């Protein structure tokens, strides 16, 4: 078929291929570009060959391109889109709108495009340019599972002033009744299926599942109205520990701990309405709350292994009292006592002649005082006043984390945790396998023992994981350690951050920290 001819060249088409015959050399390449615009169905495949052919008179036609279909449809690899190409001039398209529309419809049918077809706007068609003619419906992922827990109010001491009386009070023990709502899970939702332009269904991924994290001994799951509800097995004290929610046994003491009660050592949490008498001890795995306004005087030991300690009144230690908490200590004031906390020590008014050790030591920045004794922290010490006018020696010390030792310790913990996870997975496989077979009484007892071991390993893994996270957090704070005295640091105050130390010789205040490796005193 003859496509185009002039004095210089002749363009023909045969079996979908375009041929060029040069009758006279010297035809400008720019002029050939105009021919291509007039015939959009010509697609050059070898531009270098074209240039060569135009310079030489030939005896036989040379293949230089392809003869495109009038209308093409190109389907994407994922079968989600189809693009339309109309290889005709703009003038042809304007004058053959109905014919083209009919042919496009037929071509869509021939290509089995039955979903997501889009209207054809012929007035917007650009010759040989892609037009989106069909678009599939992508699948919609289902909503992820939603987990909600009963929140424990933040343990933040508030200093109230009521006339002449000062009160150091806070919401500490959060009591729970048996069967109480502790949390819930809305299960993951199915997604909405998609569809290709050929009408093929694309399965939608469901939402990600998540599990309620709780202590199996003190809480249980039950399905209610399409939700998984977490309820308390026992009455007690609500706690968040090692990444899971639990209800610890609660021992309320209506009066004092003393001759009538003896020393107390309890697995759960303890709330004492009165005080702890001189020489007596209270040890608990969970939280300890001592709510008597007179505080504690001369008690021997008050220790929370994993929780916090709250003493509404003050501590008169008489040089004997020791208060230790795996978490935080909150107290109104401290006099001649020893306090040790895994996290922070918060003091409402003053600490006199006492030894304090924690990650952070926070004495009220408006009127709190540290007078005498020693305060040792990893991260921060805050007080309004340190020392006194008599220049009593008062030591404020930041023991910075040693990076190399900390990294080595984290590595050891991580290695141990990895091994623990591997053991847990093996044990879990064994338990799951045995759960699905018929067992005699002896085998059932062994299975129950294996389940208990599995739970212990999971608890230990969660605890170590929390330890690693805490150590990593400590490392992130290296270099940010500071001692803050908002009003007055009296002479005789000993300031130490890391290995740099100084004794103040005059009154000052502000933030004491390392700047360029030196203490800014």
**pLDDT score, position 240:** 79
Provide the residue ranges of all domains of the chain, joining segments of one domain with +.
2-67, 71-135, 146-245, 403-476
**C-alpha to C-alpha distances, 46 to 35, 62, 302, 434, 451, nearest whole angstrom:** 16, 11, 90, 71, 73
**pLDDT score, position 163:** 44
Token code pair at residue 482 = 């500071």
The tens digit of pLDDT for each residue in 372-404 reads 999 999 989 999 999 999 999 999 999 877 777
**C-alpha to C-alpha distances, 171 to 165, 174, 332, 380, nearest whole angstrom:** 19, 8, 14, 25
pLDDT averaged over every residue in the chain: 88
Residue 64 has pLDDT above 90, yes or no: no
Residue 169 has pLDDT above 80, yes or no: no
Q: Which of 142-156, 344-358, 390-404, 469-483 has the lowest mean pLDDT?
A: 469-483
Q: Where are the beta strands (DSSP E) in 307-438?
A: 309-311, 315-316, 322-325, 329-335, 338-341, 344-352, 355-363, 369-371, 374-386, 394-398
Query: pTM for the full model?
Result: 0.62
Mean pLDDT to the nearest integer, 71-99: 89
The tens digit of pLDDT for each residue in 489-513 reads 999 999 999 888 999 999 999 999 8
**pLDDT score, position 517:** 78
Residue 221 has pLDDT above 70, yes or no: yes
**C-alpha to C-alpha distances, 521 to 22, 310, 386, 389, nearest whole angstrom:** 93, 35, 15, 19
Q: What span, in angstroms and rounded, lies between the C-alpha atoms of 98 and 341?
A: 84
Residue 275 has pLDDT above 90, yes or no: yes
Q: What span, in angstroms and rounded, lies between the C-alpha atoms of 48 and 498?
A: 75
**pLDDT score, position 167:** 45
**pLDDT score, position 353:** 96
DSSP reduced 3-state for 321: coil
Mean pLDDT to the nearest integer, 85-101: 86
Contact 372, 391 (CB under 8 A): no
Share in percent of the chain as helix, strand, coil (round to 5):
20, 40, 40
Mean pLDDT to the nearest integer, 476-492: 88
Residues making up the chain, counted from first to last? 521
Token code pair at residue 505 = 């010789």
The tens digit of pLDDT for each residue in 423-438 reads 888 888 887 877 767 7
Q: State the pLDDT confidence band at 168, using cuts at 50, 70 and 90.
A: low
């Amino acid at each position: 078929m003859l496509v185009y001819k002039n004095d210089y060249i002749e363009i023909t088409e045969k079996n979908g291929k375009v041929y060029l015959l040069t009758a006279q050399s010297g035809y400008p390449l720019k002029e050939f570009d105009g021919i291509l615009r007039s015939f959009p169905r010509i697609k050059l495949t070898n531009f270098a060959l074209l240039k060569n052919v135009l310079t030489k008179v030939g005896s036989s036609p040379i293949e230089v391109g392809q003869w495109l279909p009038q209308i093409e449809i190109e389907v994407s690899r994922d079968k989600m889109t189809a693009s339309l190409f109309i290889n005709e001039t703009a003038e042809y398209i304007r004058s053959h709108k109905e014919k083209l529309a009919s042919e496009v419809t037929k071509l869509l049918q021939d290509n089995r495009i039955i979903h997501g077809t889009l209207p054809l706007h012929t007035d917007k068609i650009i010759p040989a340019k892609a037009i989106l003619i069909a678009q599939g419906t992508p699948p919609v992922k289902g909503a992820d599972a939603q987990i909600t827990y009963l929140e424990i109010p933040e343990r933040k001491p508030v200093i109230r002033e009521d006339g002449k009386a000062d009160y150091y009070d806070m919401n500490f023990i959060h009591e729970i009744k048996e069967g109480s709502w502790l949390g819930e899970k809305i299960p993951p939702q199915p997604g909405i299926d998609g569809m290709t332009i050929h009408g093929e269904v694309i399965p939608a991924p469901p939402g990600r599942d998540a599990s309620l994290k709780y202590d199996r001994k003190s809480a249980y799951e039950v399905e209610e109205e399409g939700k998984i509800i977490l309820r308390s097995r026992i009455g007690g004290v609500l706690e968040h520990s090692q990444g899971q929610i639990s209800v610890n046994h609660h021992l309320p003491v209506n009066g004092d701990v003393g001759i009538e009660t003896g020393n107390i050592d309890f697995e759960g949490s303890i709330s004492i309405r009165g005080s702890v008498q001189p020489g007596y001890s209270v040890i608990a795995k969970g939280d300890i709350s001592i709510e008597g306004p007179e505080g504690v005087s001369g008690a021997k030991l008050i220790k929370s292994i994993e929780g916090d300690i709250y003493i509404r009144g003050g501590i008169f230690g008489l040089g004997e009292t020791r208060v230790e908490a795996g978490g935080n200590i909150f107290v109104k004031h401290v006099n001649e006592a020893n306090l040790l906390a895994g996290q922070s020590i918060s003091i409402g008014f003053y600490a006199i002649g006492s030894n304090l050790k924690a990650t952070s030591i926070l004495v009220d920045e408006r009127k709190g005082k540290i007078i005498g004794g020693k305060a040792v922290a990893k991260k921060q010490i805050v007080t309004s006043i340190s020392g006194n006018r008599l220049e009593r020696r008062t030591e404020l010390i930041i023991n910075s984390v040693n990076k190399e030792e900390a990294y080595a310790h984290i590595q050891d913990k991580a290695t141990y945790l990895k091994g623990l996870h591997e053991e847990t997975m093996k044990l879990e496989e064994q338990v799951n396998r045995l759960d699905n077979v018929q067992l005699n009484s002896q085998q059932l007892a062994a299975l129950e023992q294996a389940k208990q071991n599995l739970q212990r390993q999971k608890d230990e893994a969660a605890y170590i994981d929390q330890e690693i996270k805490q150590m990593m957090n400590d490392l992130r704070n290296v270099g940010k350690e500071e001692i803050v005295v908002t009003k007055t640091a009296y002479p005789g105050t000993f300031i130490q951050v890391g290995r740099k130390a100084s004794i103040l010789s005059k009154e000052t205040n502000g933030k004491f920290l390392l700047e360029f490796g030196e203490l800014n005193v």
